[in-house]
């Protein structure tokens, strides 16, 4: 994300910069709420995982319109969400303990953000999540 912010500011692409900052802000708020809720209640509410996914998808989708590499970012975002969601679903079905459907939905949302940045970021996010 820092690279996107720096490039957008340098190029004067204010729509891309605004979308990236808004998506980052939404991500930060949702991450804090989901972390606190998960630690207290061992669940991830649909309202917050849905807001992270839907809000992030809309904001980052607008960012695709403002980017020179918009289609690459768009398909990376869609593919990233699908890949991470599928991976988490397989892990949920295999493990059945400790990982619920909230984690699966969160994986899909995180995949949107990481995929928007690129496939290398998606791979890094998946690896870091399991270390």
pLDDT at 96 over 80: no
The count of domains in the chain is 1
Question: Residue 7 above 90 pLDDT?
Answer: no
69-89 mean pLDDT: 96
pLDDT class of 3 with cuts at 50, 70, 90: confident
Confidence of residue 131 (pLDDT cuts 50, 70, 90): confident
Q: d(Cα 23, Cα 55) in Å, to the nearest integer?
A: 8
Contact 20, 6 (CB under 8 A): no
Predicted local distance difference test score (pLDDT) of residue 55: 98
Residue 2 has pLDDT above 90, yes or no: no
pLDDT at 106: 97
Residue 84: domain span:
2-129
- Give tens-digit pLDDT for 12-71: 999 999 999 999 999 999 999 999 999 999 999 999 999 999 999 999 999 999 988 899
Q: Nearest to residue 52, comparing CAs of 38, 33, 66?
A: 33
The conformation of residue 130, written as its DSSP 8-state character, comes to: T
Tens-place pLDDT, residues 97-107: 878 999 999 99
Residue 124 reports pLDDT greater than 80: yes
DSSP 68: T
């Amino acid at each position: 994300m820092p690279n996107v912010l720096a490039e957008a500011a340098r190029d004067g692409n204010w729509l891309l910069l605004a979308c990236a900052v808004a998506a980052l802000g939404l991500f930060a708020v949702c991450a804090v709420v989901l972390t606190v809720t998960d630690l207290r209640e061992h669940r991830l509410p649909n309202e917050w995982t849905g807001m992270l996914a839907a809000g992030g998808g809309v904001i980052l989708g607008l960012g695709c319109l403002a980017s020179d590499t918009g289609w690459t970012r768009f398909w990376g975002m869609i593919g990233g969400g699908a890949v991470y969601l599928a991976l988490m679903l397989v892990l949920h079905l295999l493990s059945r303990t400790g990982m619920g459907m909230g984690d699966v939905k969160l994986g899909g949302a995180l995949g949107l953000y990481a995929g928007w940045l690129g496939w290398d970021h998606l791979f890094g996010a998946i690896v870091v999540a399991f270390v």
